[in-house]
Amino acid sequence: MVTQSSSTTHATNGNPPRDTLTITDNRTGKAYELPITDGTLRAMDLRQIRTDAEDFGLMTYDPAFMNTASTRSSITYIDGDKGILRYRGYPIEQLAERSNYLETAYLILFGELPSEAQYKEWEYKIIHHTFLHEKIKMLMQAFRYDARPMGMFISTIAALSTFYPEALQVNDPPTRMKQIVRLIAKVPTIAAFSYRHSRGLPYVYPDNELSYTGNLFRMLDMMTQSKYEPDPVKTRALDILFVLHADHEQNCGTNAMRAIGSSRVDPYSAMAGAAAALYGPLHGGANEEVLKMLKLIGNVKNVPAFIEKVKKGEGRLMGFGHRVYKNYDPRAKIIKHTADQVFHVTGVNPLLEIALELERIALQDEYFVSRKLYPNVDFYSGLIYQAMGFPVSFFPVLFAIPRTAGWLAQWVEMVEDPDQKIARPRQIYTGYGLRNFVPMYARGTDT
Ligand code: ACO
């Protein structure tokens, strides 16, 4: 049982407070004083707590990393209780309003906003690495006609490693930077080719005259026009969505990027793994699930019955809840506002009415209030993507494009961090003790 002391004097036995934790091991009666740094204990400090010389030492058990910091990081700050998200100290609201994706990607990667000259050089480099090797294109063409775009995206990212074998030199900063530029530049092209493929359309090559998102729209939409003019409202809205999705500290996909990268594999292979993690319905695949859910509900009048089902444990309210945010996800707020601007151009998504009613009821309902379940980034993003004309199967790809900046920044931070080693958790073994092999004839029959 954990006992707590209510008085500071008692807790410190009259001594001045120290940044330490004293643990008494009741198995042995021994006491240990462990340092507390940044509100954290080092799990390895527990190893000295042993019953005897044979004992392995104390470990922590933390499935799903519920209370474990796996790294020190200076990239993204989240206060989930207050609904705060900042990249390198800058509030997400200011970046969404005043920055653009490429500038934000620079900030995330290099730690500072670029000067005008730095930005121009950065933009030039990205724009001049957007083309794919023709063999990559051919590789993509080999997918089944109805292949899901995210499956193509993940596989193609992995395949890039075979085209850039020098990428294995992960400890060499200039080589790392070259792969970073390539990945940020090429993901929109890979994304667009995967989309065109799933629609049976010819692939459209990049246009270096357009902005990052303008070029993406062109590669997605271009048909027979002699000159393609991207819609400025849609282009800006997608750019804002990209800013919002650029990083989100140690989420499932980023953790995969760091864990895979910790083996010192090339960044293409690591990023393919990160994108695969993002694909799941509890992570980046959630906005697709939101739309499926809204369609299933079908009508505003069915919302209360649906909420009751969720409360009975028959399914989840997709797009609600977050491991970190126990308040309104600040990205969801910005997306809701951006949606209004997009719907002005595209017409209102008929599912919006159902979404608004779900949000209204859920935010008043004791079940959701007591569990601090609020709309997350995925609740409204799917509605915007759908209004822009994208099929749901393309949504995770639209998430992966901007998250590339975050994955790569986190990967560099991990590679350069002297505290990091190959990521390798421990386990509590729950299986049999030693057993001797039994030949098949002696195993009995399975009746
Ligand atoms: N609908 C209904 N109940 C929920 C939901 C939900 N969306 N999310 C959590 N709960 C309930 C759980 O049933 C649990 O209730 P209990 O205490 O009575 O058992 C409680 O809230 C805590 O839930 P956990 O699953 O323990 O929370 P966790 O932090 O593990 O899960 C997650 C976070 C996966 C995001 C969860 O909220 C969820 O499944 N949401 C729906 C999927 C979704 O929108 N994912 C996108 C997240 S954002 C992103 O990845 C980009």
Does the domain at 286-387 match CATH 1.10.230.10? Answer given as yes
Distance CA 284, CA 331 (A): 14
Structure-token match 């790392």, residue found: 176
Q: Is the pLDDT of residue 4 over 60?
A: no
Q: How far is the CA of 319 from the centre of ligand 1 (A)?
A: 9
List C-alpha distances in Å: 397 to 76, 195, 329, 417: 22, 9, 21, 29
Q: Cβ–Cβ contacts within 10 Å for residue 265, how many? A: 16
Single out the residue of 192, 393, 368 nearest to residue 292, CA to CA: 393
Residue 376 CB less than 6 A away from ligand 1: yes
Active-site residue identified among 239, 248, 322, 365: 322
Is 159 a residue whose pLDDT tops 90? yes
Query: Which residues partner with 79 through β-bridges?
Result: 84
pLDDT above 70 as % of the chain: 97
Whether 282 is in the pocket of ligand 1, judged by its Cβ within 6 Å, is yes
The answer to whether 191 touches 212, Cβ cutoff 8 Å, is: no
pLDDT by residue (tens digit) across 230-249?
999 999 999 999 999 999 99
pLDDT at 404: 98
**For position 417, what pLDDT does the model report?**
98
- Neighbouring residues of 212: CB distance < 8 A, sequence distance ≥ 6: 100, 101, 102, 126, 188, 239, 242
Q: How confident is the model at residue 447 (pLDDT cuts 50, 70, 90)?
A: low
**Residue among 392, 405, 132, 411 at smallest CA distance from 288:** 392
First-to-final CA distance of the chain: 46
Q: Which pLDDT score, from 0 to 100, does residue 5 have?
A: 43
For ligand 1, whether the C-beta of 138 sits within 6 Å is no
Q: Is the CB of 322 under 6 A from ligand 1?
A: yes
Which residue has the CA at smallest separation from atom 32 of ligand 1? 322
pLDDT band at 229 (very low <50, low <70, confident <90, very high): very high
Question: Ligand 1 pocket check: which of 289, 316, 323, 383 to mutate, most ligand atoms within 8 Å of Cβ?
Answer: 316
Average pLDDT score, the chain:
94
Angle, helices 232-245 vs 330-346, to 10°: value is 160
Q: CA 139, CA 135: separation in Å to the nearest integer?
A: 6
pLDDT value for 288? 84
pTM of the entire predicted model: 0.91
Segment 25-62, tens digit of pLDDT: 999 999 999 999 999 999 999 999 999 999 999 999 99
Percentage of the chain modeled with pLDDT above 90: 86
Is 128 one of the catalytic residues?
A: no
Q: Is the separation of the CB atoms in 349 and 336 below 8 Å? A: no
Same fold, 82-280 and 286-387: no
pLDDT computed for residue 11 by the predictor: 58
Distance 290 CA to ligand 1 centre (A): 13
Average pLDDT of the segment spanning 328-339: 90
The predicted pLDDT at position 244 comes to: 96
Say whether pLDDT at 364 is over 90: yes
Residue 209 has what DSSP assignment?
T
Give the pairing of strands 30-35 and 20-25.
antiparallel
Mean pLDDT (whole number) for 195-211: 96
In the prediction, which pLDDT does 10 show? Answer: 53
Which residue blocks in 262-392 are alpha helix, DSSP H?
267-278, 286-297, 303-311, 330-346, 352-362, 366-370, 377-387
> What pLDDT is stored for residue 110 in this prediction?
98
Whether 319 has a pLDDT exceeding 50, the answer reads yes
Looking up tokens 């796996």, which residue turns up? 70
* pLDDT over threshold 90, residue 401: yes
- Catalytic residue, chosen from 378, 417, 419, 446, is 378
**pLDDT per residue over 422-434, tens digit each?**
999 999 999 999 9
Q: What is the DSSP letter of 265?
A: -
226, pLDDT greater than 90: no
- 444: confidence class by pLDDT, cuts 50, 70, 90: confident
Higher pLDDT among residues 86 and 226, named by residue: 86
CA distance 202 to 197: 7
The predicted structure's pLDDT at residue 399 = 96
| pLDDT in the model for residue 2 | 44
Please say whether the beta carbons of 411 and 258 come within 8 A. Answer: yes
Specify whether 337 is catalytic. no
Domain residue extents for the chain = 1-60, 82-280, 286-387
pLDDT of residue 300: 94
Query: How confident is the model at residue 8, as a pLDDT?
Result: 44
Eight-state DSSP code of residue 441: G
Does the annotation mark 344 as catalytic? no
CA of 435 to the centre of ligand 1 (A): 41
Q: Which of 133, 283, 337, 417 is catalytic?
A: 283
CB of 283 shorter than 6 A to ligand 1: yes
Q: What gap in Å lies between CA 447 and CA 440, rounded to an integer? A: 15
What is the predicted pLDDT for the residue at 286? Answer: 84
- Helix segments in 12-133, DSSP class H: 92-98, 101-110, 116-127
| pLDDT class of 348 with cuts at 50, 70, 90 | confident
149 pocket-lining for ligand 1 (C-beta < 6 Å): no
Contact in structure between 58 and 50 (CB atoms under 8 Å): yes
Q: Whose CA is nearest to atom 30 of ligand 1?
A: 323
The residue whose CB lies within 8 Å of the most ligand 1 atoms, and thus the one to mutate among 254, 371, 403, is 371
User: Which residue's alpha carbon is at the smallest distance from atom 3 of ligand 1?
Assistant: 316
Least confident range from 190-204, 256-270, 326-340: namely: 326-340
Q: What is the mean pLDDT of residues 204-213?
A: 96
Dihedrals phi, psi of 66, to nearest 5 degrees: -65, -30
Task: Report the pLDDT value the prediction gives residue 298, as an integer from 0 to 100.
Answer: 95
- The answer to whether the CB of 403 is under 6 A from ligand 1 is no
The tokens for 193 are 């080719």
Please report the pLDDT score of residue 9 as a whole number. 46
Q: Is 318 in the pocket of ligand 1 (CB under 6 A)?
A: yes
From the CA of 322, how far away is ligand 1's center (Å)?
A: 6
Q: Which fold has domain 82-280?
A: Citrate Synthase; domain 1 (1.10.580)
290: Cβ below 6 Å to ligand 1?
no
Ligand 1 center–CA 189 separation, angstroms:
34
Which residue, chain included where needed, has tokens 């092209």? 189
113: Cα within 13 Å, side-chain hemisphere: 12
What confidence tens digit (pLDDT) does each residue in 112-147 have?
Answer: 999 999 999 999 999 999 999 999 999 999 999 999
What is the position in ligand 1's atom list of the atom closest to the CA of 282? 45
Which amino acid type is present at position 365? D
In this prediction, residue 282 carries a pLDDT of 85
d(CA 321, ligand 1 centre) in Å = 5
Atom of ligand 1 at shortest range from CA of 323: 29
- Least confident segment among 167-176, 299-308, 322-331: 322-331
Nearest protein Cα to ligand 1, atom 38:
321
Nearest CA to ligand 1 atom 39: 282
